[in-house]
Every structure is written in C-alpha cells, then in structure tokens.
C-alpha cells in the first residue's frame, strides 16, 4: 500500500527554500486558530509540546460531518474535511487532557477532561461543573494521581431517554437537562454489591436499554458492572478487573477489551473468551460491515505497537502495520466515519485514515 506522499518536513523545507512563495495558511474559527499546510494532505499540528506517551484518546463524527479528536495533552481537534481546528484551554477547555467526547441529541459537543466537563454549543466552549454539594466525600485519596484526579471525566453516554451519564474520578453522575444527580445515590438503584464506580473507563447502553460500566484502574477495580434499570451488579468473567473498552456489534454481542487477560464478549446468555487469536490488544471497533478491529499488543516500552491493528471478518484476520503506512506507535482510538473510513489515533499524538486501500498520515 502507498505511504503518504507529503511529509511535514518536506513541506517545511519547501516553504523555507522558496522564500515564502508558498505560505503556511492561518484559518481563524471564532475563538481558535488552526495552522494548515496548503499543499498536499492537511496536517494535524501538535501545538502543545506533546511527548511520546501523549495520545489521541477519543473521537467521533458529529451530525454535520465534522470529525472530533480528543488528545491527552493538546486539547481537541475538529476536522471539517479540509482543515483542522485546534481548541485548547485558551478557547475554554478546563484542561488540554481530553479523555472522552460526546455529541448529544441537540448537537452540543461535550468534552470530558482531566478537570471536569465542558460543552461546545457551536459558538463557544464553557465549563459545565457538577454541583459540589452532590459530589462524594472520598476517604481514599491515594487512589488518585496528578494525571488522574477525581475530577477526570473518563467516559460519557446519552441514553435513549436523553439522560447524559458521566463516568468521573469520584463516581457516575447523570444529567437530565436541568440538574446533576449522583447515580448510586438514587434510592431506586439496588446495589447489593456496594459498588462505588469510582473510575469508569467506558460505558455502553445496549439495544435493550441496559447500561454497562467498566470500572478501571487499581485499586478498587470492580470489573464489569451491569445495570438493568433496577439492580446494578458486578462480575469479572475472565478474571480481568480492568476493562478498557466496551462495544456492541451488529449482531448484538457485547465486546470487552481486557487490560491484562485478553478480550471477551457476551452473547446475551454467557461470557465467552475470545481465543481465535493471541497477540491482539484491548482497543476494539465494530465497523458497519460487521468486521471487528483490534489493536496490536503494546510493546514493553508502552509507546509502540507490536503489530499495528488487526481486522477480523469472522473467519480470518488481516494485519495492518508499518509495512502498510501506519506509524509504529500504540493505538488508543479507532472510529469509523460515514464513508466507511477508519480513523486511527495513536500515542505520539498521531492520526491515520484507512480508506479500504491506503493509509494516510495526518500528523506532524
């Protein structure tokens, strides 16, 4: 497969050697500026001095067709098909570390950062704080670290009723369009296991309206938590208590990306370990055709990928890696756009698009 034709270094060399005959274009989007290169493929510009361990962590395509990517050090990027626009704390974000993105039914874009929630209404980004008087009183502050404080918003979802759920460092909160409530403080929730949901890496509402939670990093990992509208329960069906990703495929199977013991799925009756292949990571995507995409395993240095990504059609696996035009860094985010392109975000804040034939590098 062809590798991208243009690299940023070549473009910058060209700009310098031509003494400004072809200039770097500046585009202003209300509050923020985006730098683009007007030759060849537009590039996502790393403006915040990101490091190898920083990554493109989340993404989505909104109703208008824009692609949004949240990074762990350089804020949010919006791509309109031509240019990238970068939003940071200068534009209203609470933090340049963005862990989750959601578009609600009204078209607002929500950002979950290391320092709380923000909402973008198409004009500006504003903080959207949870009221302090409903936040939990935490006795175990050793659970948190400088990069993962209790205000971090790891995950978000909007359910079929319109309620927005936020998985934060000190529990799950619900927003009904008027006010926040703490989910486990609801008297109608039966919580026999005394679960805390202190850190929820990901959430999913399945086709039947059940809510799935994956409770994250140690200590206090609670595995998979399942809420049927009345009772919340916890299980660790493959012995893995740290689940990184949850998704529902077109057949209704619920897939889980386990941090240490591999991937597994729930077929509506039982949990099944996915043993068709070893050496695949825990980031998962189900595309419109029904194929399941897995990341390669993370290398020992925690930055690079062993094998890029794998695509599984139900019978065979296809591997895409550096030989196909991908970079060497570990994959954290995969999304599919309406045209069927697969967008892949990695460590070192790198971004790639796969159109079914060719990988294109969008990163500096």
Architecture of the domain delimited by 8-361: 7 Propeller (2.130)
- Residue that has been written with the tokens 């794998």 in this structure: 310
Note the pLDDT of residue 337: 98
CA 163, CA 105: separation in Å to the nearest integer?
10
In this structure, are residues 33 and 86 in contact, taking their beta carbons and an 8 Å threshold?
yes
Q: What's the mean pLDDT when you consider all of the chain? A: 84
Closest CA to 353 of 235, 35, 98, 362: 362
DSSP helix, strand, coil percent of the chain (3-state; round to 5): 5, 45, 50
Question: Where in the chain are the domains?
Answer: 8-361
What are the distances in angstroms from CA 60 to CA 2, 68, 224, 236, 267?
Answer: 26, 5, 24, 29, 26
Note the pLDDT of residue 240: 80
Note the pLDDT of residue 141: 56
Look at the pTM and tell me if it is higher than 0.95.
Answer: no
- E strand spans, 72-191: 76-79, 84-87, 98-103, 109-113, 116-120, 125-127, 153-158, 164-168, 171-175, 180-182
Q: What stretches in the chain show pLDDT beneath 50?
A: 1-39
Q: What SS3 class is residue 161?
A: coil
DSSP string, 231-283: BEEEE-TTS---EEEEEE-TTSPEEEEESSS-EEEE-SS-EEE--S-SSEEEE
Closest CA to 257 of 266, 268, 246: 246
Q: What SS3 class is residue 9?
A: helix
Task: Give the phi and the psi of residue 10 in degrees, each rounded to 5.
Answer: -65, -40
- b/e per residue 129-144 (b: at least 16 CB within 10 A): ebeeeebbeeeeeebb
DSSP state of 19: T
Closest CA to 237 of 252, 221, 210, 258: 258
Who contacts 253 (Cβ-Cβ below 8 Å, separation ≥6)? 265, 266, 267, 268
The set of long-range contacts for 183-187, using a CB threshold of 8 Å and a minimum separation of 24, is 184/232, 185/134
CA 241, CA 201: separation in Å to the nearest integer?
12
First vs last C-alpha separation in the chain: 21
Closest CA to 171 of 151, 142, 190: 151
Sign of CA dihedral 304, 307, 308, 311: negative
In this structure, are residues 295 and 329 in contact, taking their beta carbons and an 8 Å threshold?
no
Note the pLDDT of residue 49: 65
CA 204, CA 202: separation in Å to the nearest integer?
7
Note the pLDDT of residue 220: 61
Note the pLDDT of residue 215: 72
In this structure, are residues 349 and 73 in contact, taking their beta carbons and an 8 Å threshold?
yes
CA 270, CA 76: separation in Å to the nearest integer?
38
């Amino acid at each position: 497969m062809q590798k991208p034709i243009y690299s940023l270094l070549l473009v910058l060399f060209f700009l310098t050697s031509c003494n400004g005959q072809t200039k770097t274009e500046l585009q202003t989007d209300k509050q923020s500026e985006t730098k683009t290169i007007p030759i060849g493929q537009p590039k996502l510009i790393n403006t915040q001095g990101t490091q190898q361990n920083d990554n493109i962590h989340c993404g989505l395509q909104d109703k208008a067709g824009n692609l949004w990517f949240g990074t762990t050090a350089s804020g949010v990027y919006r791509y309109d098909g031509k240019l990238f626009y970068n939003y940071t704390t200068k534009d209203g974000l609470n933090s340049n570390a963005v862990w989750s993105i959601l578009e609600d039914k009204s078209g607002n874009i929500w950002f979950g950062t290391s320092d709380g929630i923000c909402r973008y209404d198409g004009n500006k980004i504003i903080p959207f704080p949870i009221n302090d008087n409903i936040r939990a009183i935490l006795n175990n502050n050793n659970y948190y670290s400088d990069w993962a404080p209790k205000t971090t918003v790891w995950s978000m979802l909007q359910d079929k009723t319109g309620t927005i759920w936020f998985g934060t460092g000190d529990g799950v909160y619900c927003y009904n369009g008027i006010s926040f409530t703490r989910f486990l403080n609801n008297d109608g929730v039966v919580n026999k296991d005394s679960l805390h949901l202190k850190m929820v890496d990901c959430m999913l509402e399945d086709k039947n309206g059940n809510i799935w939670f994956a409770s994250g990093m140690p200590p206090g990992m609670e595995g998979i938590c399942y809420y049927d509208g009345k009772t919340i329960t916890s299980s660790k069906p493959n012995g893995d208590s740290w689940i990184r990703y949850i998704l529902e495929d077109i057949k209704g199977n619920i897939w889980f990306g386990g941090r240490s013991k591999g991937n597994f799925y729930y077929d509506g009756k039982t949990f099944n370990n996915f043993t068709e292949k070893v050496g695949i990571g825990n980031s998962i995507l189900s595309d419109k055709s029904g194929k399941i995409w897995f990341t390669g395993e993370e290398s020992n240095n925690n930055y690079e990928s062993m094998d890029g990504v794998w695509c599984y059609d139900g019978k065979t696996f296809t591997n895409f890696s550096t030989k196909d035009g991908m970079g060497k860094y570990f994959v954290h985010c995969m999304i599919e756009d309406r045209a069927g392109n697969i967008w892949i975000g990695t460590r070192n804040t790198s971004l790639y698009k796969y159109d079914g034939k060719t990988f294109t590098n969008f990163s500096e």
